Structure formats: structure tokens, C-alpha cells
Structure 1
Amino acid sequence: MDKQFKTRSMIFTLYGDYIRHYGNVIWIGGLIRLLEEFGHNEQSVRAAISRMSKQGWLQSEKRGNKSYYSLTEQGKARMEEASKRIYKSESPQWDGKWRMLVYSIPESKRHLRDELRKELVWSGFGSLTNSCWITPNPLEEQVHRLVEKYDIASYITFFNATYEGMSSPHDLVNECWDLGDVNAKYSQFIKAYSEKYYIDKNLVEKGEISDGQCFVKCASLVHEYRKFLFVDPNLPEELLPDQWLGDSAAALFSDYHELLQTPATRFFESVFE
């Protein structure tokens, strides 16, 4: 199960970083070949693809006796949003408002509630109380997409609000998110990847690393950094704590990605063609 999730997660990474820039369609044989580089076998790739299709992220088409897979509209929107957040250059500007989403989903539709919670966390909402979620970011578009996807308009109330107290916006942030934990994760990332970055920079400069190795390292880097989308709510600068490490982690990610990108893309193209 864990392996399948990792395969699925790596497929998302490949679509986000490569396939969507190449017409968004790939032959399943090519995808299997790319994922072999990470130690995933054909069976786990086919199982993950099937699951992603059932969940509405991918769609298939037959050309002759070959199967090709592309992102659905829902998949494209998710990749677009993820990419904006992964490759962002700075924290978002804040308009001083809070978006507030309240839901009352009946017990009989509990699975919907669980799905919605996961999606809200991914988008950067924080839980103020059990069914009241807030964010300082303008996520109206994402909310409308969620409501449409799960067909839950009758259970959702959405506000664009001003916070009038009784404490400070920073206290509100601390109530909804554990930024100390997120900062600790950034610290671990910086420690592990700055070391790897200097080793690989040396290898690249000496020409002692293959395109295939760069491809694996580059996709693994994105794969690892992408995990922050599930924990970092991407808050505006004025709401972040002192000694926030998110920007340092982003700068390291950007430098490392740039180092590996050209040879990694060369390898992808050799398999993709």
C-alpha cells in the first residue's frame, strides 16, 4: 500500500514537472520505463495509474494497441496550483481579510467530510474549530472547484471576513497551524539537501554524473519538497513567525533544481520520444 502510494505520488511529480510541458500525454510504456529508474515495477505503475484514473486525475485513450494517459481538467488544475506553490518566489501579499469556510455534512456522508478535510489542508486552510476552516489567502477559486467536485453546495457556507478579535492574528495562526513543526521539517530538509547539493554540484561540474542519475535526483528532490504542500499553509509574510526557514528551503530547492534540470530533462526527452 505504502509502495503504491509512493508510485502514485511519483507519477504526480512526473506529470507536474515534465509530462504536462510535453503535450500532457504519455504512453504507459514510457511512464513504466521512467518509473523503473526509481525502482517501481510495471505492476505497481499500472495499479497506481488505474487508481488515479478512478479518482479522476487521469484519463486514458487507445491509439492502435497502445494506451496513453493524460491529466484530466481536475488533474491539470491541481498540477497548476501545486506548481505555483512549489516554484513561488515569495510569500503571497495579504489583503488583511480571512476566508472562512463552514460545513455541515451529515454523518451518512462521512467519507465526503474526510475527503474535504484533506483537500482543505492541501489548499492551505487551517481548522479553527471542528467544521470551521480559515485562510488569509484568496482561495475562492479552489473552494468553488471543491464544491463542484464533491457536489456539496448545500452543505457549505463561505465568508470573506475581517478578524475583530479577541486576540491577535498571530494567535489565530497559532491556533490553526503548528508552524513550529513545519519549521522543524524545513530545518531537516535544509540540513539533508544542502549537503547533497554541494556533492552533486561538484559531480556536475566535473562531468561525473549521468543524465539518468540527474533525472532521478531531480524528481526525488521535487518529490521530497512537494511534501511541504501538505503541511505549509503558504501564509503571507506578516503572519509568519520570526526565524521562519521556508524561504531558505525554497532558495536551496531552487538552486538544486536548476543544477539538475538540464541533464534531467535531456534524459526525460530520450525516453519520452
Structure 2
Amino acid sequence: MKARRAIFEIYLDYIQYYGGSIRVRSLLRLCKELGFSGVAVRAALCRLSQQGWLDRTREQKQSFYSLTPMGRDRVEEAAPRIFTPLTEKWDGQWTILTYSLPERLRAKRERLRRELIWLGYGPLTPATWIIPKPAAELTTKHLLDRGLDKGVHLFRARHINSLANAELVEKCWDLSAVQKQYRSFIDRWNPQWRSYQQKFNSGKPVPDNLCFSGKMRLLHEYGRFLYLDPRLPWELLPKDWLAEPAWRIFRDCYHLLAEGALRFFESGYQGPARTETQKREGHARVMQGLMELV
């Protein structure tokens, strides 16, 4: 596991529902359960803060980290892509993005490319990226918020030769590599899910701390597909595409571990001036999200 990603996933899975802020000492305890040292966690927090994802504040001599607006946006973008299966129908059109950035802006160009990959775009040429979705509005807002909109142009079009859509997909995305990653995830987590299921069914449930660490490792591994899988419409995917079987395993394992993991999180969570009412509201939001994961 990588510390920065693991911390961000704790915000995504829990902290966002409890006001978006957590005491550093509390986060250190959670991350220790995942095998991270205090030094590694503090370094990761510093880096996330420098990158604009988290904001550090002090209250009564205690340090807290909360999501910045950019951090909240990323969490809100990531959550539905993790917790809902792909059901979109394709209208046959492509969103096309072109950009022109000089060599002196190489760092900005690389940031732009990383954000396009995050959004699901694939490179048709180095400066022309495509996605088979009506993504212009989302893309414009996303890039504008990050100061990456200069020199960018967006279009919507239909490929004249529909038979060549498969060629476009093959050129822009390495789906065979993604398929291998899905197979690896299934091979690892299907036996693990059955093992968890047997323990719960035998009346010897998994301890809460192991539910938490297991669930976060599950989320960490499945969360990699946010960067690997562009979530193309079914019409453009191989017939044996493994995204849905992998998602079902993720969902079932997530459900099994959720209650014990939440108890562990709440047993040590500390935020700034949290009231019992606010804690109950956070708990209710987490449980509501769990109920919607079907």
C-alpha cells in the first residue's frame, strides 16, 4: 500500500462523512493498523497538503487535516466510480480534446495529461485525447478549477466509419493490460472473500481492527482501477470483460467487513469539536452509502 493513497482513501471511505477533518493523532492510529509508521504518515500528509488536497489547521494545540475544495471534488468524483457498476449506454459519439502547450510548460502539460487519464480520456495523438462520453462540461469545470484550461479545445463528433471504433479503442487504451489486472484482483480477492464469509458464518467473526485493515486494503487494490480502467461503454469492450465480476467481489467483500471496520474507525476517530449528534449523522451517512452499494 502507498501511504498517500491510503490516507486519501480513508477520507473517501470515512472522514468525508464526519465533516471532512481528522486529528493527526487519530489518523496515525488508523494508519498504524495498515502498517505505516508515524514518519511515513506525517510525510504523506505534508505532501498531500503541498499538492492542495488537504489543509492543516490547529485547534487547542492539536493538529487537524481536512479536505480542501479540490480534495472534496476528487472524493466526489472517485466515489461513484468505485461504488457503482458501469451501466451507461453509448450514444455513438466521442468527446475530443486538443491542447497546445509549449515545451516551457512541460510540467503543466504533464499535469494536464494525468488529469485526462483520471477523467478516462485516451491519447489518440500526443495532443489529441478522446473519450466516448458527453464529457465536455465535466472536463471544462475540472480543468478550469485546476488552472489547466488554457490552450484546450473540446469537440463532440461521431466517427464516420463505425467499424473503426474498435481500432480507436485499441490505439488509445491498453485494455488487455487492464483485463489482466482485473483477473489478478479476482484471483486474489475471491478466495479472501470466501475465507471471510466462512469466518462470519462459523460464529467467529473477524476482529474489528482486521475488518478495518482488510477493508482498506480491498479499497486500495480496487481503487487502482480509477487510474487503469477508463470505464468505456459496454459496446466498446471485449465480450469477456472482467470489470463487473471484479466489482461484485469488491462489493460482497466490502459488505462483509463494513460494520466491524466502522466500529474500529469510530472507536478512535477524533475531529475538531465533534458533537454526539454530528457523530451519529456521520455514522448514518456511512450506513446509507453501504445500503446503496447493491
Q: Give, in whole Å, the separation in 2 of the partners of 1:146 and 1:200.
A: 39
Q: Which residue of 1 aligns with 2:80?
A: 84
Q: Give, in whole Å, the separation in 2 of the partners of 1:111 and 1:86.
A: 29
Instruction: Select 1:260's aligned residue among 257, 260, 267.
Output: 257
1:224 equivalent to 2:221? Answer: yes
With the length of structure 2 as denominator, give the TM-score of the two structures.
0.88
- Over the matched positions of the two proteins, sequence identity in percent amounts to 39
Contact 1:189–1:249 (CA under 8 A) maintained in structure 2: yes
1:174 equivalent to 2:188? Answer: no
Name the aligned partner's letter for residue 18 of structure 2.
Y
Q: Give, in whole Å, the separation in 2 of the partners of 1:230 and 1:63.
A: 36
Contact 1:112–1:150 (CA under 8 A) maintained in structure 2: no
- Structure 2 segments unaligned to the other structure (5+ residues): 271-294
Name the aligned partner's letter for residue 26 of structure 1.
I
Aligned-pair CA distance for 1:87: 0.6
Aligned-pair CA distance for 1:166: 7.5
Single out whichever of 197-206 and 250-259 deviates more from structure 2.
197-206
Instruction: Select 2:182's aligned residue among 182, 186, 189.
Output: 186
Coordinate RMSD, CA, aligned: 1.5
Instruction: Select 1:165's aligned residue among 139, 151, 161.
Output: 161
1:31 equivalent to 2:52? Answer: no
Instruction: Select 1:124's aligned residue among 100, 117, 120.
Output: 120
Instruction: Select 2:135's aligned residue among 135, 139, 142.
Output: 139
Change (3 A) 1:111 1:202: same
Residue 89 of structure 1 aligns to a residue in which SS? coil
Contact 2:52–2:71 (CA under 8 A) maintained in structure 1: yes
1:148-205 Cα shifts (integer Å, max 9, x gaps): 2442433111112221138421221111111111111111111110011111111223
With the length of structure 1 as denominator, give the TM-score of the two structures.
0.94
Q: Give, in whole Å, the separation in 2 of the partners of 1:147 and 1:267.
A: 37
Residue 164 of structure 1 aligns to a residue in which SS? coil
Contact 2:86–2:231 (CA under 8 A) maintained in structure 1: no
Single out whichever of 84-93 and 194-203 deviates more from structure 2.
84-93
Name the aligned partner's letter for residue 225 of structure 2.
F
Instruction: Select 1:151's aligned residue among 141, 147, 152.
Output: 147
Residue 182 of structure 1 aligns to a residue in which SS? helix
Residue 150 of structure 2 aligns to a residue in which SS? helix
- Structure 1 segments unaligned to the other structure (5+ residues): none
Contact 1:99–1:158 (CA under 8 A) maintained in structure 2: yes
Contact 1:91–1:234 (CA under 8 A) maintained in structure 2: no
1:44-79 Cα shifts (integer Å, max 9, x gaps): 111111111111101122111011111111111111
Q: Give, in whole Å, the separation in 1 of the partners of 2:58 and 2:112.
A: 33
Single out whichever of 149-158 and 52-61 deviates more from structure 2.
149-158
Contact 2:112–2:148 (CA under 8 A) maintained in structure 1: no
Change (3 A) 1:60 1:141: farther
Q: Which residue of 1 aligns with 2:14?
A: 18
Name the aligned partner's letter for residue 203 of structure 1.
K
Q: Give, in whole Å, the separation in 1 of the partners of 2:120 and 2:19.
A: 29
Q: Give, in whole Å, the separation in 1 of the partners of 2:64 and 2:84.
A: 31
Single out whichever of 215-224 and 205-214 deviates more from structure 2.
205-214
Q: Which residue of 1 aligns with 2:97?
A: 101
Change (3 A) 1:167 1:89: closer
Q: Which residue of 2 aligns with 1:209?
A: 206
Residue 64 of structure 2 aligns to a residue in which SS? strand
Change (3 A) 1:52 1:16: same
